[in-house]
Amino acid sequence: MDAILVDFTREEGAMKPLHGINNSPIRYNNKLPELEDAGIPYVRLHDTGGAFGGTYLVDIPNIFPNFDADASDPASYDFAYTDAYFRTLNASHLKIFYRLGVTIENRYDIKPQRIYPPKDFRKWADICTGIIRHYNEGWANGFHYGIEYWEIWNEPESPAMWQGTPSQFYEFYATAASILKERFPLLKIGGYGASGFFATTRPNCNDMRKGYLRFFNGFMEFMKAHPQIPFDFFTWHLYTKDPHETESHANYVRKRLDEAGFPRTESIFGEWNYVEHDTCHVDKAPWDLMRSSAGAAFVTATFALLQKAPVDKALFYDAMPSRVYCGLYMFPEQKVSKTYYAFKAFNELFKLGTSVHTEAGEAQNGIYALAAKNGAGQGALMLANRLSKMQKLELKSIGMNERPTVLVLDADRVLTEVNWLLDEKNILTLPPESMLLLRWA
């Protein structure tokens, strides 16, 4: 019988803020208690509110509708709806990760609207300066939110996001990042929300996805040749059914950043989700799986691998209930999904603070483990069984004497205490496509 080992005497560093998200339910001047309860550390704002940023939210053209207006004049800006939404995020203690740019235009084939390169890169940066001042310095009847992360653009390798050339984007990033960093030296300025590195793990991917890698290599060569350009963090994306592909891409990004001379640039996994389009679950649409116990098991497995991988933060896409990519809510009732509870469980480990050693034989049996402890003798273990069959494992724990309580999330239960899943011989039963949370008081 396979075993799961958790050694609370072997510390492996601080728990990372991996349970960030993109977007949320749009509630104005209200609160998001369910996200606060899950301890969500960051909310990245891209595609916020729907097509074209819901007309009023976050995007540069929504806040600054006339590009030719005076960027130093508060009357040129329309902050109203974004202010109301940010009051909700702030009241819910959710840190904002602000994407400076525009929403994806999936029907650019009809007519691109906002995804052309700005006609004046310096003017665009001046507009962003006004936005940052409004939310961090109180300018234009604004706020002091202390928003730290400011991301320049998103997925410029895609024609749905950038109708210019790669070299135009490289110059655009260099201009905007340099101006913003000079004006706000304590803030973190980065980008660019890379679409993915599929060619490194999927040799038969299509030409467009191979182009993503060429764009990235060109960007890295440009940055290597201009090391003075601010590059505090690099964001990148991947949608997959294999958490080990995520691990591979994380290693690739870190290696390339280091090789180019940017060892201090944070690697931030800016968009991710469980996207499965094969026939393993013929009774469910791919989007339904994101919200199911299978989705929760995938998220748990990804957390386990990312905690050990060279990634600094992660931001799940998405938590806006009206979007098919939303894995954290059911629609239209806005009831939280089973996957939401994987985030809530991870937050228990995050609050404990210190990651500890686990061994679970991940690649062989579909079992993934992540554990943490604090200095007060408390510990917790998250386990995922990604297989569609029940599995039994011997639990071996070092450094904790008492028996843990066992909570299970599966097809029928949501973090329900079921202590008989761990028997008197320390044999642990994991239901199919499930997540277990073990707590040592």
Give the DSSP letter of residue 253: H
Would you write out the chain's pLDDT as a tens digit for each of its 441 residues? 789 999 999 999 999 999 999 999 999 999 999 999 999 999 999 999 999 999 999 999 999 999 999 999 999 999 999 999 999 999 999 999 999 999 999 999 999 999 999 999 999 999 999 999 999 999 999 999 999 999 999 999 999 999 999 999 999 999 999 999 999 999 999 999 999 999 999 999 999 999 999 999 999 999 999 999 999 999 999 999 999 999 999 999 999 999 999 999 999 999 999 986 544 444 556 678 999 999 999 999 999 999 999 999 999 999 999 999 999 999 888 899 999 999 999 999 999 999 999 998 665 689 999 999 999 999 999 999 999 999 999 999 999 989 999 999 999 999 999 999 999 999 999 999 999 999 999
pTM of the entire predicted model: 0.96
Measured CA to CA, the distance from residue 152 to residue 229 in angstroms comes to 13
Residue 145's pLDDT is 98
Residue 275's pLDDT is 86
DSSP code per residue over 2-66? -EEEEEEEEEEEEPP---EEE-----TTS--HHHHHTT--EEEESSTTSGGGGGTSSSHHHHS--
Residue 282's pLDDT is 45
Domains of the chain: 16-352 (3.20.20.80), 356-440 (2.60.40.1180)
Residue 331's pLDDT is 84
Measured CA to CA, the distance from residue 346 to residue 186 in angstroms comes to 30
Token digits for 183?
């004006």
Residue 80's Cβ-count burial label (10 Å; 0-12, 13-18, 19+) is exposed
Residue of 61, 100, 91, 102 whose CA lies nearest to 78: 61
Measured CA to CA, the distance from residue 422 to residue 394 in angstroms comes to 9
Q: What are the distances in angstroms from CA 191 to CA 98, 188, 214, 237, 302? A: 11, 10, 17, 12, 23
Q: What is the Cα gyration radius of the chain?
A: 22
Residue 200's pLDDT is 96
Residue 2's pLDDT is 87
Residue 280's pLDDT is 43
